[in-house]
Structure 1
């Protein structure tokens, strides 16, 4: 899954220069219409759907299954929406959402927090997963059993100041020195190639890379960051939109989130069937990995929350306070504006 870029300069510039907002103009591609289906003009008029674009944070994976399930099972269509699920291309999902290129997208609490403190009006509408499933992972032969063991090892990352801040934070709990870690920027390099060739450990999502390691027969020592501080148990990823889209068409936002919630509930209750839906949308994915990942992740979507997507103010405050204390934010976050549960369906 994609590593986050923490350079928000381009995103801020896009916001300042954007001349138009996130409307509901018809895209050139009529994605979401069933191939071969023909209707009369009168039928088209009565069944006219609102065109919506949803941009992923990276290539399709099991974080996104609920979106594909909602589309495949007709939940979006039933909500009056023609949803086109796209990949971000050269720009980030946050940039596309903020500039109006997509009405919704997959983002992270980390980037929304940093973006909002730089006047980028993104809003998180749902937590895809209730608890942070990311952490530092190393092949067992590197003998990294605790943050103390990071000392003298090579870390492969993507050059974000947040990486070192998190590493320093959990190492200090054990009296360890982050300056004794060698940082190597591996960009988008494959984890398994990197640990064989260049590094000892990296930051991964266990639900994808960790499961792949299991299937490869390559056991990992996994140090989940949430296990070392409740402030690091943040929402990653999330479904996001912009303030402009929400203000201009709140009923559409509610319809989209209701259908999306149904998609994730389906994936919770039917992991194997949901995995097949994801594979249909992204046939190049490894089938065994998708099925195994989905089985691992499905119960974690909602976990201990009263409904899928529910977000807590305390989670947003804990993490933004942590970032501000470590000078990763220019100013404190206005937490209440960063997220909303108002567009989720009521808990059953």
Structure 2
């Protein structure tokens, strides 16, 4: 009996010791908890992070910038869009791209078919609902590519399109205050349907199909973290921690996409009041199921289909930089250090074609 108690006590101590060795990591999400981040929640729930020796805390942020929390050290890693990352570098914040989760843009502009807006040329004279804080760039790029000006351009005396900035809830402006509204395929597009407008009544303009495939959800960190020789006194370098985080995250994403119903059930207890999406009348599970289905399409594209999940295709990256330079958002090409392929290589065991 005493021997059994001793063994039990050693087992408990051994487990506690193993838990203490987990390296604490804070990953800043770009929005509130939802299926948009399913792969990370699955990696957490399934123990993929722990298997890499990491204790990962997933931090929600809402409509603030994940760049700031990583820049200040309040978070170690984050998810954001390529435009946010590159404009931050331009402003002197040493942020580094380490993995590309979504390979295709989910950004759309939506109008009622009854408005008879059938092409981008028909946007002229219309009101367009856009999001603030840099989230309007895809819409601006689409307009400029089609030689249309907007009120977002201070130099446009008589803009072709009047932009109306709104805080992410389409019900605040659509369809009474704007003719077209910004909507992610996985979120607001479903919310608009929840407002009583079925897909057959909607004209959906998908940015990725119109030459504006500005990449969205990616993983990033700071040069400070990558160059840390002893991350949080763990005995591991920041670069090694980054590779472990990317490896576990991609495993989580692969599982989530292949097991979408299970992934949704993992997300639901974590998203609370945001499960339905702002302005959406559908049930929470229905909205998250829609979101997971659409997110899977953004993940399962480009390099992912070639067995290179998380890889930033150099050609796509080059096109994104050119588009942002043409818009005047970037004044020069980003420094090479803005993207670190070595983290992805260490995480996957594959060689990047730079």
Bin of the TM-score, shorter chain as denominator length: 0.7 to 0.9
Query: Structure 1 stretch 108-117 or stretch 201-210: which is displaced more?
Result: 201-210
Q: 337, 340, 345: which is aligned to 1:342? A: 345
CA gap 1:101/1:90 in 2 versus in 1, 3 angstroms: farther
Q: Determine the structure 2 residue equivalent to 1:318.
A: 319
Structure showing greater Rg: 2
Q: Determine the structure 2 residue equivalent to 1:19.
A: none
Are 2:308 and 1:307 equivalent residues in the alignment?
yes
Alpha-carbon distance in structure 1 between the residues aligned to 2:192 and 2:108: 14
Are 2:163 and 1:192 equivalent residues in the alignment?
no
Shift of 1:309: 1.1
Q: Determine the structure 2 residue equivalent to 1:237.
A: 217
Q: Determine the structure 1 residue equivalent to 2:153.
A: none
Q: 19, 25, 47: which is aligned to 1:47? A: 19
CA gap 1:315/1:189 in 2 versus in 1, 3 angstroms: closer
Shift of 1:133: 1.7
Q: Cα RMSD over matched residues? A: 2.2
Alpha-carbon distance in structure 2 between the residues aligned to 1:75 and 1:44: 18
Q: Determine the structure 2 residue equivalent to 1:228.
A: 210
Are 2:255 and 1:266 equivalent residues in the alignment?
yes
Instruction: State the TM-score, normalized to the length of structure 2.
Output: 0.79
Alpha-carbon distance in structure 1 between the residues aligned to 2:62 and 2:208: 31
Alpha-carbon distance in structure 2 between the residues aligned to 1:91 and 1:292: 25
Shift of 1:40: 4.1
Contact 1:261 1:344 in 2 (8 A): no
Contact 2:141 2:327 in 1 (8 A): no
Q: Determine the structure 1 residue equivalent to 2:127.
A: 154
Shift of 1:67: 0.5
Q: Determine the structure 1 residue equivalent to 2:240.
A: 251
Deviations 1:265-314 (Å, cap 9, x if unpaired)?
Answer: 00111111111111122243111010122123224313232222111122
Q: Determine the structure 1 residue equivalent to 2:72.
A: 99
CA gap 1:77/1:163 in 2 versus in 1, 3 angstroms: closer
Instruction: State the TM-score, normalized to the length of structure 1.
Output: 0.80
CA gap 1:138/1:278 in 2 versus in 1, 3 angstroms: same
Shift of 1:210: 1.8
SS in structure 2 opposite 1:68?
helix
**Number of residue pairs the alignment of both structures matches:** 303
Q: Would you identify which runs of 4 or more consecutive aligned residues in structure 1 move more than 6 Å? A: none
Shift of 1:177: 5.3
Alpha-carbon distance in structure 1 between the residues aligned to 2:263 and 2:139: 36
Shift of 1:164: 6.0
Q: Determine the structure 2 residue equivalent to 1:331.
A: 332
Contact 1:154 1:183 in 2 (8 A): yes
SS in structure 2 opposite 1:244?
helix
**Which structure 2 residues correspond to residues 60-79 of structure 1 after superposition, within 5 A?**
60-79=33-52
